[in-house]
Amino acid sequence: MLRTVSMLMTALTLILMVAGCGQSDQKEASPMENTLKSGLFTEHFDTTERPQDNFFMHVNGTWIKNAVIPSDRTSDGAFYELREKSRSDVKTIIDELAARTDLKAGSDEQKVADLYNSIVDTARVNDLGLEPLRTQLEAIDSISNKSEMSRWLARSQKTGGGAPFFLFVGIDDKDATRYIPNLWQGGLGLPDRDYYFNEDESFKSIRAAYIQHLEKMFRLAGWANPARTARTIMDLETDIAKLHWTNVENRNSEKTYNLTSVAAQVEKSEGLDWAAYWDEAGVATTYDLNICQPSFIEGFAQLFGETNLDTWKSYMRWNLLNSYAGYLSSDFDDQNFEFYNRTLSGQQEQRPRWKRGVDGVNGVLGEVVGKVYVSRHFTPEAKVRMMQLVENLRSSFGAAFDDLDWMSAETKAEAHRKLAAFTPKIGYPDRWKNYDGLEIKNDDLVGNIRRTNLFNHEDDLAKLDEPIRTWEWGMTPQTVNAYYSPSRNEVVFPAAILQPPFFNIEADDAVNYGGIGAVIGHEMGHGFDDQGSHYDGDGNMRNWWTEDDLKQFAERSKRLVEQYSGFEVLDGLFINGELTLGENIGDLSGLSISHRAYQMSLKENEAPVIDGYSGEQRFFLGFGQIWRGKYTEEETRNRVATDVHSPAAFRPIGSLANFTPFYQAFDVKEGDKMYLTPEKRVHIW
């Protein structure tokens, strides 16, 4: 997925002089050429930064220096600006519904209005305090043995109360015609296993703050022995974290595919009563099962058996409180914000309640408001233009395969078959999600969230007996993002990302290819990155490579890992090149494939000069501006530890340093900071 971070640019002839492109090399633009829109955000350029030394700062530096991250966010940039715009657009839709008094009970419109009102009604939320969790807390207190606790683990997950591992339904990686249940590790209150073990002072400080947070939450809840219980929870979570696979291990699609059956798992009842768990979860023993991290599940079952029941009761109380803290009265909500947002991420203020209300509606009923969103903010012309771009990128990718000198004809044929089978989804679903059966009340926020979690759980289980839902989307139309699904072999581009700086229907092609073209190429590239390349065109995990081609691909990937591992984000903090490999391949693929598509689109015609820039230069400037973004220091550290994407600044820097046409467009020479010798440049696709 392109879950990224962001993009954008000042005065023009001066920039080219500072960039070293050579003023004398520029063409004088004709009056006709000057009527075209470049699509560049030149006001964000920093002319004191040479593109040959730091292209990210050259394109985005003025914005980086002047922008102040809003106090209710931990990051800012092009992605985030578009997300704010999308949120505002959705708020207009919701406000119109929330103001109506004629909505039919049980209608989707009534659900949207009442869910939003239940979130923004802070007076009622504050009056209720901890009361909305009372029934579930009493249920935990009444648990008398490990078998009942095994059952509670499933019940808690169904209703969103937290769990030490997660049950989800997904497409079978080796049989893309069916769904199967999966188990995935969980159970941590901190973002990642390394937060429990890293001896850097920043991590030690976070661990100390977490224990204080636990104690404060327990005091607010009025629970006995808050300090001792906080220590107990921290010790148990540390034991759970010891069992966790690393983020790098979890990226390995082969290692996380371990097919067994529910029946076989039931037989392994040492420590944890799996029969009770699966019965409560509603999953029959007749189904096959994938256990993503077998050593975690085995280790957890043993830990479950060795740890006393009272400790597990305290742990599950905490999971329930932690999961719902943001929906409770302001004392719980504020303390939850203090640790998870301010301490962990550097966010200074809570988001306004209306933003949280919009996000809640998007998360629960996103396709209801999505229908209205696309009718107002996405034109048929944009969809047609996007489909054309996708097909141009597909053709470009195919031509790239043909030109590879390191891949055999046998593997190329398989790659072509997979590429031809790609399914593009643009803008919005052809079929919308059905929310029948979901009950939403305007005065029951916690109940709304609990019922939504149960609704989604039951909807997931229903897939086990259905054909693949090819119409289903993993994002709403108003989401500013995109993704590739290997098991579906599809690339998906929601409507909200199809606007400047990514896509401008009124702009010249160069910047659109550098922007949304690179995004399309990025998502297609995931089909051929270090993990997506394990899947064939039907979505099945299968090796379609010759042994020698696989070695060649692995060698190129290894060099990319080494490059990115050398990027220092903060003093002493480096990118994890293994964790970010798939996204880095996606960025490099998107750049090279989109550039080729742009050249093909010219059909040997010369691109016009616009705003003093050649077509080649505008393409790369368009690519650089989509990554404009900055984060708080705390958020930066969090992302480097957990995010599969490289920080924003290094996405264009890392890709462009490997791409020879960039050197030609901006006259990059030996001695420039972005210069890599030709033999060190990584070329994959």
Q: How far is CA 440 from the centre of its chain?
A: 28
C-alpha distance from residue 303 to each of 237, 243, 278 (Å): 11, 10, 19
- Please state the domain extents for the chain: 12-71+381-431+472-680, 145-309
Tokens of 685: 């696709």
CA-based nearest residue to 452, from 363, 539, 532, 521: 363
- Residue the block writes with tokens 């597990």: 312
Per-residue DSSP letter, 251: T
12-71+381-431+472-680 — its CATH code? 3.40.390.10
Given this model, what pLDDT does residue 10 score?
A: 25
Segment 103-117, tens digit of pLDDT: 999 999 999 999 999
* Predicted structure pTM score: 0.92
Q: Which segments within 92-246 are labelled E, that is strand?
A: 165-172, 175-185
Residue 269 confidence (pLDDT): 72
Which residue shows structure tokens 């505008």? 618
> Could you give the C-alpha distances from 384 to 272, 430, 504, 575, in angstroms and in order?
54, 15, 13, 38
Task: State in words which class domain 145-309 has.
Answer: mainly alpha
Report the alpha-carbon distance of residue 484 to residue 523 in Å, rounded. Answer: 5
Question: Can you give the pLDDT at residue 35?
Answer: 58
Tokens linked to 201: 């002072």
The pLDDT score that the predictor gives to residue 194 is: 95
- Assign 498 to helix, strand or coil: coil
Task: Locate 375 and state its tokens.
Answer: 């009718």
Secondary structure element (H or E) that encloses residue 290, with its range: strand 288-291
Backbone angles phi, psi at 321, to 5 degrees: -65, -45
**Strands annotated E in 107-199:** 165-172, 175-185
The partner residues of 37 in beta bridges, in order of sequence, read 507
Phi first, then psi: what are they for 80, rounded to 5°?
A: -75, -35
Residue 268: per-residue pLDDT:
86
Q: Which DSSP state fits 428?
A: S
Residues of the chain predicted below pLDDT 50: 1-34
